[in-house]
Structures are given as structure tokens and as C-alpha cells.
Amino acid sequence: MNLLNRGFISIKPKREFLEWKLSVLKEELIEPESPEPTIYLIEDEFWDEDEILKKYFNKIAKQEFNAISESSESWPEMGDVEQFSKYFDSEFGTFVFDLLKTPINSDKMD
């Protein structure tokens, strides 16, 4: 087991996100009672969660909305953290452990 030099933000969609998703996809979706969060790795040492969210909310919102629709015109406006918080819950952590022996692979998304 390896301790990674990363912290994390766990992002979980709220009802507003799920309603937007339904309006964009225009099809009946079966959503789980508790949607699965997405984990974003961040610097491992941080003291102010609000500052970290300010730093990354726009990048995270773009990723979450783009996963549903590549047309940014359909995305809700994300001008600030308050708007972001209407669509997503966030939790922070500082310990990330890798339980596997195989190396971590990554693909550049930007």
C-alpha cells in the first residue's frame, strides 16, 4: 500500500444537476438513490477548503457538465462557488492510499 502525495475533493451531484441532466438528455433516466461521487485529486497539504474550492470549482464544473453534454451552451452558468454549490456537494480529504501494486496510469484530459 502506498500513500500518495495528493489530497482529494469528492464531488457529488445534487438534485439541480440531475434535473439539468434530464433536461439535456431528454430521456427517462434511472438515477441511483445516492449518485456516485467523482474524486478529484489535489495538493495534499491545504488549510482552507473554501480557497481550494475557489481555485478548482470552474475546472470541476466544466468536467462534470461536459460528461453529459459537450455543448457548453447547454451548461448552467458557473460564475462563482455559490452557483457551483447549487449543483454539487463537495467533501475534502488529505489522505489518499493506493491499495494496488500496479502503477497508476493517467490520461491527459485538458
Residues 72, 76: Cα–Cα separation, whole Å: 9
In three-state form (DSSP H/G/I as H, E/B as E, the rest C), the secondary structure along 15-66 is: HHHHHHHHHHHCCCCCCCCCCCCEEEEECCCCCCHHHHHHHHHHHHHHHHHH
Query: What element of type H or E holds 70?
Result: none
Instruction: Give a yes or no: residue 71 inside a domain.
Output: yes
In percent, the amount of the chain with pLDDT more than 90 equals: 74
**Nine-digit cell at 86?**
447549487
Averaged confidence pLDDT in the chain: 91
**Residue-level pLDDT at 32:** 64
**Nine-digit cell at 37?**
461521487
Does the model's pTM come out above 0.85?
yes
Domain that residue 17 falls in: 2-98
Count of the separate structural domains present in the chain: 1
Instruction: Give a yes or no: residue 108 inside a domain.
Output: no
Dump pLDDT digits (tens) for 8-59. Answer: 999 999 999 988 998 898 776 666 677 889 999 999 988 999 999 999 999 9
Instruction: Give a yes or no: residue 109 inside a domain.
Output: no
Instruction: Give a yes or no: residue 110 inside a domain.
Output: no
